[in-house]
Structure 1
Amino acid sequence: MPTMDLWSNAANLQLRQLFGSAMASLLLLDVPTRPIYVCSPWISDFIVFENRFGEFNQLVPIADDDRNIRFSDCLRQLACLHDVRIMSRRTEVTLTFLRNPRLAEDGVKARLADDDLHEKGLLTPIFYFEGSMNITYSGVHRNKEKILYHAGSDPDVAKRMALAYLELDRRWKQLEK
């Protein structure tokens, strides 16, 4: 299925499982290609993988905690090979997330936009999440969200992702000023 239309709610594990599976696939991508964009007005840290038995140690060796692998750990690991770019607003939630010194130390780049930024998405060379979900614990675990997940080589998906890259590359350059 090249595009998945997903309505989530707090009792629905589908979004969390899809997000974790997509992140695992991305972490296996070991050839640098296009940047990875995290675009959301609010970004916070949350557990992506429960790692009680060490099953994700090889996937995210940079993780600080053996029992849980957080979103920040995934971004730090991805930054070892890829250009990871965060675009967000100057909200307390996002600023708290960005205060993690390991993000910048490991090469994760961030630019803050004006309060009119409202776009939400995670764009990567192999998939694209877009919709109402902020990239936060509440967005992934609690809120009722409407998400589109695009992946695969379908021409419509490739076109949608290419257009998203054009727009996010443009916005990234605008925020440089």
Structure 2
Amino acid sequence: MINSNSRKILTNTPLGKRHLKEVLGSTFAGLILSPQEIWLVTAWFTDFEILDNRSGNWSYLNASWGNRMVTFIELLETAVLNGCKLNLVVNETKTNDSALSLLKNKLVNEDGFRFEISDKVHIKGLVTESCFFDGSMNFTFSGANRNDELVTISGDTHQISTTRIDFSNLYFKNYQQKTKAIENPVVEIEEDEDDEHDFF
């Protein structure tokens, strides 16, 4: 998916934001085709459009998507349903409730999905067995579309291995998966509270 060289994406322009979405979308396409374990640790977590399937070019990944923009939640769901193991850690805040409830409802019966809510999380990172997205961006609508972010994408095996070990040591110590789906989740992908905190 990504070579061993690191690269940085600065999202202070529309081109930078589009580049980030393209790289993130193609990374998930690779994960859907060749499943790996995913760690997603993000203080703030909302849904947002990411993969442009209006031409139908990505429909081979999931025929049910149709010709439209595919969201981050849908990519996470498809990745897990195709064999990825997803470890999701988010902060304890109402901002995350809609996206987390939606994902829990979609994956409630899947052994490959577990989540943890913590009031201490301020880390932002997505790491698989072959790449690491690190930087200032929360995985939210604002992080992907509004804020100026600096994201580093690395394929360095030592950095990936160390980060996965660190995350494993930090999270899921007292893990108990809830199995009951949340009914009628409210999904809003337009707003999150990133913009209310100038330190994000």
Q: For the superposition of Structure 1 and Structure 2, which TM-score range results when normalised by the shorter chain?
A: 0.7 to 0.9
CA contact (8 A) 1:37 1:85 kept: yes
Q: State, as a whole percentage, how many aligned pairs show the same letter.
A: 23
Q: How many residues align?
A: 167
Match in the other structure for 2:137 = 133
Partners of 2:94 and 2:116 in 1: how far apart?
A: 15
Deviation at 1:10, TM superposition (A): 4.3
Runs of 4+ in 1 over 6 A off after TM superposition: none
Deviations 1:6-29 (A, max 9, x none): 222142322222222222222221
Match in the other structure for 1:55 = 57
Deviation at 1:84, TM superposition (A): 0.7
Point out where structure 1 has 5 or more consecutive residues left out of the alignment: 152-156
CA contact (8 A) 1:62 1:77 kept: no
Point out where structure 2 has 5 or more consecutive residues left out of the alignment: 177-200
Residue 30 of structure 2 corresponds to residue 9 of structure 1: no
Partners of 1:175 and 1:149 in 2: how far apart?
A: 31
Residue 106 of structure 2 corresponds to residue 102 of structure 1: yes
Deviation at 1:53, TM superposition (A): 2.6
Normalised to the residue count of structure 2, the TM-score between the two structures is 0.75
CA 96–88 in structure 1, closer or farther in 2 if over 3 Å, else same: same
Match in the other structure for 2:122 = 118
CA RMSD across the alignment: 2.0
Match in the other structure for 2:187 = none
CA contact (8 A) 1:90 1:113 kept: yes
Q: Which amino acid aligns with 1:42?
A: W
Alignment of 1:1-177 (within 5 A): 2-11=5-14, 12=16, 13-30=18-35, 33=36, 35-61=37-63, 63=65, 66-80=67-81, 81-100=83-102, 101-106=105-110, 107-114=112-119, 116-151=120-155, 157-174=156-173, 176=175
Deviation at 1:172, TM superposition (A): 2.3
Structure 2 SS opposite 1:79: helix
Deviation at 1:61, TM superposition (A): 3.8
Partners of 2:163 and 2:64 in 1: how far apart?
A: 29
CA 94–175 in structure 1, closer or farther in 2 if over 3 Å, else same: farther
Q: Which amino acid aligns with 1:113?
A: S
Deviation at 1:96, TM superposition (A): 0.9
Q: Which amino acid aligns with 1:5?
A: K
Partners of 1:94 and 1:14 in 2: how far apart?
A: 25
CA contact (8 A) 1:75 1:108 kept: no
Q: Which amino acid aligns with 1:174?
A: K
CA contact (8 A) 1:26 1:126 kept: no
Normalised to the residue count of structure 1, the TM-score between the two structures is 0.84
